[in-house]
Each structure stands twice: as structure tokens, then as C-alpha cells.
């Protein structure tokens, strides 16, 4: 199955601060977007990588991706889902991996785990168990929230391209935060595979600091 990776990098990175949209900030001396792209491009099953960027980010993206073949940069939209839609209409192939630039360290084993089920399922997503107790923020913590069977869903998420496209076409709810939400609503079969802590999303200044520390710890 020919597989294209679509990396959405059209956000503003407001929660991360730092002056520059976070995907262009350096992590261990390399732009986060470049790391996210290289992690996927280096997997033998991925034949193409395409990147969705924000309007006005052309120069930043070209600089961050210097020397890497990502074809023509795609312009994203207001919300992440708009950026994914823009990407979906710009790519071809049989399978797609949709991934956040804000998750720069994708282990190749996760990609193996995601692509294997596509023979039988229309999609697959990496999940991690929830270790903490759950509660509703608005109550006085007196309403139990059962975490049995609950998981956190990461990206990349893998789909047969035609199936994900038609799921997005039939989506009529509020802005979805990921593709499994859209796929589930359209009745697609999505396999859950084991995620990885290295795929944690980088959202806040603290996440940047943690990622820098983690990179340093891998050097020793």
C-alpha cells in the first residue's frame, strides 16, 4: 500500500509562547517541524511526506525543511481540522498517516504498529493508558469518573485515504480534534495500537524544557 504522511504544522503555537510558532522553534538545535518530518520520512513504508503550513509561514517552513523533499507546501486553515482537510485534498496514495508537527519524536515501531492493521481495518491510532485519576474540573470532585477502558489517543493516525476523505466529507459535528473522532462518526473501523511516551505533544514552555532534557539524556 503506498503511504503518504501528512504533517499538520499550520498552528500558531500560542500556548508555547516564545515569539515564533512552536513548530519552527529549535529542539536540540533542530526545528521541531524538521524532526517531525524526518521521523516519518525515514520510515521505509512511507513514500511521500507533505506538510501543511499557516499562511505567511512559507519562508519559515522552507528554512526549517531545507534539503528535504516535501513537494509543494500546502496552506492550512483556521483550525487543525481545516488544515487536515486542506492536506487531504492535496495528496494521493492508498494510505495516509496524519501527524502533528508538535509531536517531533515518532519511533519507527509505532509506524509499523499503525500500518499493519490497515489490511483489515480502515484506520489505526496509537493509544496510551491513563495513569491518573480522572475528575470533572467543574464539580467538587464528588462525581466519580470511571477511567476503566479509557485511553489517550496520539498521532500519527493511519487510514485508508479514500475512507478518511469520505469520513471528513460526511462530518457535520463541531470541530474535531483528531481523525479518529471523524472516522468513528462515519462508522469506520479503527484499530487501537500501543502508543509511545515519546509521542507526547509539545504544547507548553514546560514541554519544550522537558523535550530538551530528554534529548540530552539520550546523548549520555
Binding site for Mg ion (CB under 5 A): 11
- Of 3 and 180, nearer to Mg ion (C-beta) is 180
Beta carbons within 8 Å of 88's beta carbon, 6+ residues apart: 6, 96, 161, 164, 165, 168
50 to 2, 31, 203: CA distances (angstroms): 14, 16, 22
Q: Find the binder of ligand CTP among 4, 6, 13, 50 (CB under 6 A).
A: 13
Residue 112: how many CB atoms within 10 A of its CB?
13
Tell me the β-bridge partners of 186: none
Q: Compare residues 11 and 21 and give the one whose CB is closer to Mg ion.
A: 11
Cβ proximity of 25 and 19 under 8 Å: no
Cα dihedral sign for 211, 201, 113, 132?
positive
Closest C-alpha to 199, from 125, 115, 96? 125
Answer for which of 5, 8, 60, 88 binds ligand CTP (CB under 6 A) is 8
Q: Is 53 exposed, middle or buried (0-12, 13-18, 19+ CB in 10 A)?
A: buried
Q: Look at residue 102 and give the partner it binds from Mg ion, ligand CTP, none, a contact being a CB closer than 5 to 8 Å depending on partner kind.
A: ligand CTP
Please choose, out of 7-15, 128-136, 159-167, 181-189, the segment that lies near ligand CTP by the rule CB under 6 A: 7-15
| Residue 13 contact among ligand CTP, Mg ion, none, beta carbon within 5 to 8 Å by kind | ligand CTP
Least separation in angstroms between residue 18's CB and Mg ion is: 15
- Tell me if 39 contacts ligand CTP by CB under 6 A: no
Cβ proximity to Mg ion: between 47 and 203 the closer is 203
Residues in contact with ligand CTP by the rule CB under 6 A: 8-16, 23, 52, 76-80, 83, 100-102, 201, 203
Amino acid at each position: 500500500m503506498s503511504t503518504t504522511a501528512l504533517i499538520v504544522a499550520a498552528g500558531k503555537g500560542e500556548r508555547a509562547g516564545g515569539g515564533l510558532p512552536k513548530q519552527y522553534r529549535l529542539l536540540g538545535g533542530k526545528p521541531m517541524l524538521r524532526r517531525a518530518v524526518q521521523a516519518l520520512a525515514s520510515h521505509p513504508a512511507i513514500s511521500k511526506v507533505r506538510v501543511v503550513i499557516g499562511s505567511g509561514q512559507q519562508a519559515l517552513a522552507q528554512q526549517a525543511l531545507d534539503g528535504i523533499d516535501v513537494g509543494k507546501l500546502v496552506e492550512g486553515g483556521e483550525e487543525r481540522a481545516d488544515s487536515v482537510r486542506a492536506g487531504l485534498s492535496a495528496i494521493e496514495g492508498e494510505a495516509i498517516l496524519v501527524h502533528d508537527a508538535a509531536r517531533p519524536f515518532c519511533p519507527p515501531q509505532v509506524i509499523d504498529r499503525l500500518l499493519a492493521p490497515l489490511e483489515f481495518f480502515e484506520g489505526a491510532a496509537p493509544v496510551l493508558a491513563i495513569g491518573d485519576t480522572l475528575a470533572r474540573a467543574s464539580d467538587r470532585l464528588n462525581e466519580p469518573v470511571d477511567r476503566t477502558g479509557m485511553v489517550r489517543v496520539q498521532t500519527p493516525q493511519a487510514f485508508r485515504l479514500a475512507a478518511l476523505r469520505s469520513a471528513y466529507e460526511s462530518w457535520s459535528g463541531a470541530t474535531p480534534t483528531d481523525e479518529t473522532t471523524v472516522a468513528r462518526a462515519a462508522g469506520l473501523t479503527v484499530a487501537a495500537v500501543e502508543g509511545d511516551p515519546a509521542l507526547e505533544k509539545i504544547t507548553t514552555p514546560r514541554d519544550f524544557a522537558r523535550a530538551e532534557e530528554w534529548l540530552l539524556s539520550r546523548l549520555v
